[in-house]
Amino acid sequence: MSEDCIFCKIANGIIPTEFVHTSANTVVFKDINPKAPIHLLVVPKKHIPTLNDLEDRELMSELLQSVKDVTKKLNISDYKTQINTGKGAGQEVFHLHIHILANKEG
Ligand code: AMP
Ligand code: ZN
């Protein structure tokens, strides 16, 4: 847990947030500034700044499994995923997250 990291605070319950889905090592919540009708963020509970810092292969697969599980749960079959890595690519929150963007549920 990184003290000044907003996603650490969300993932560890310090900032109360409604989770759309959780798994052992990940949480999924709504993006505060949605860029599509459905905009979710899949976030590891552990503080990992960027994809370049992710070395745990089990966590890699769990993150992608969470994408599949939450979209299935919400009946979303068509969606985009995005991972911004580094300032130059537009990353603003330096706690790894996968964006899920979709137009509608079901
Ligand atoms: P990125 O540019 O990939 O780092 O995206 C960061 C995303 O986090 C943006 O889409 C923001 O709208 C979103 N975001 C920032 N703060 C919060 C927050 N407190 N709760 C939910 N989403 C947030
Ligand atoms: Zn963090």
Query: Does the annotation count 99 as an active-site position?
Result: no
pLDDT over 70 (residue 21): yes
pLDDT of residue 53: 98
* φ, ψ dihedrals at 20, nearest 5°: -75, -30
**How many A from CA of 51 to the centre of ligand 1?**
16
Instruction: State the average pLDDT over residues 40-57.
Output: 98
Q: What is the pLDDT of residue 27?
A: 98
- pLDDT of 103 above 90: yes
| Residue tagged active-site, from 21, 39, 47, 97 | 97
**Gap between the Cα atoms of 90 and 106, Å rounded:** 30
For range 57-85, the mean pLDDT: 98
pTM for this predicted structure: 0.96
pLDDT of residue 24: 98
Q: Is the pLDDT of residue 3 over 90?
A: no
Q: Please choose from 51, 93, 94, 98 the residue to mutate so as to test ligand 1's pocket, defined by most ligand atoms within 8 A of CB.
A: 93
Give all strands of the β-sheet with 98-102 in edge-to-edge order.
21-23, 26-30, 38-44, 98-102, 80-82
